[in-house]
């Protein structure tokens, strides 16, 4: 019996050694690499811009060379920008306009204020973000009010030569957005 007991103990000990080493069981691993196509970033810019030659009074009358503003008048100028962009889901997110700078600052230009601009995309007033593509046009209507802090006699000519406000620059900034994919 002693032999049998010894054999049973030896078998049990071997089984325990095998079970104790179960935590170190190794698995095979393998690695592979894959090559895929490139991802290319798009672009968003304006390819051209032009403004009308004439400001328009708030009643729709063109402001010709002999026309003069009086306090309370608003004039507008339409500028058209052509989109140059590339990419999926390209959209127009916002349009902002800087305060205008004038070729010569004077009492008249001090009383001119920029109104909130309005704009259309391809002739239609859009909900933002508005999907756009290369070649689309954004028409921005720049408005200027002659209302200043008081529109007093200081903004008028007292010598017979009317004061002039010649637009030097105004910056229109268009911000790209992401158009939601059609679902």
pLDDT band of residue 160 (cuts 50, 70, 90) is very low
| pLDDT for residue 43 | 92
Beta bridge partners of 75: 57, 144
Which pTM value belongs to this model? Answer: 0.71
For the chain, what are the domain ranges? 43-66+73-178
Report the phi/psi class of residue 149: left, alpha or beta, with left for phi > 0 and alpha for psi in -120 to 50.
alpha
* Cα–Cα distance measured from residue 138 to residue 46, given in angstroms and rounded to the nearest whole number: 10
* Beta strand spans in the chain (E): 43-51, 56-57, 74-86, 90-97, 101-102, 112-114, 118-121, 130-131, 137-146, 167-169, 172-178
Share of residues in the chain with pLDDT > 90 (%): 43
Under DSSP, the state recorded for 178 is E
Q: Which two tokens stand for residue 102?
A: 């004038």
Q: ∠ at Cα 60 (57, 66), nearest 5°? A: 50
**What's the pLDDT tens digit per position in 16-72?**
555 555 556 788 999 999 999 999 999 999 988 899 989 999 899 998 877 888 888
**Kind and range of the H or E element at 10?**
helix 2-20
Q: Largest alpha-carbon pair distance within the chain?
A: 137
Assign 176 a pLDDT band (cuts: 50, 70, 90): very high
Q: What number of other Cβ atoms are within 10 A of residue 183's Cβ?
A: 3
Q: What is the pLDDT of residue 11?
A: 66
């Amino acid at each position: 019996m002693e032999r049998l007991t010894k054999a049973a103990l030896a078998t049990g000990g071997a089984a325990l050694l095998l079970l104790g080493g179960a935590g170190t069981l190794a698995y095979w691993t393998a690695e592979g690499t894959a090559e895929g196509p490139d991802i290319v970033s798009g672009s968003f810019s304006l390819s051209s811009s032009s403004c009308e030659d004439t400001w328009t009074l708030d009643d729709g009358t063109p402001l010709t060379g002999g026309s003069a503003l009086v306090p309370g008048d608003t004039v507008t100028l339409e500028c058209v920008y052509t989109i140059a962009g590339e990419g999926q889901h390209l959209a127009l997110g916002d349009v902002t306009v800087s305060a205008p700078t004038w070729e010569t600052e004077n009492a008249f230009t001090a009383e001119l204020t920029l109104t909130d601009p309005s704009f259309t995309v391809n002739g239609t007033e859009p909900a933002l973000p508005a999907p756009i593509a290369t070649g689309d046009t954004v028409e921005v209507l720049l408005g200027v009010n002659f209302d200043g802090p008081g529109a007093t006699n200081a903004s008028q000519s007292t010598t017979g030569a009317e004061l002039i406000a010649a637009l030097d620059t105004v910056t229109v900034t268009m911000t790209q957005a992401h158009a939601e994919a059609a679902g």
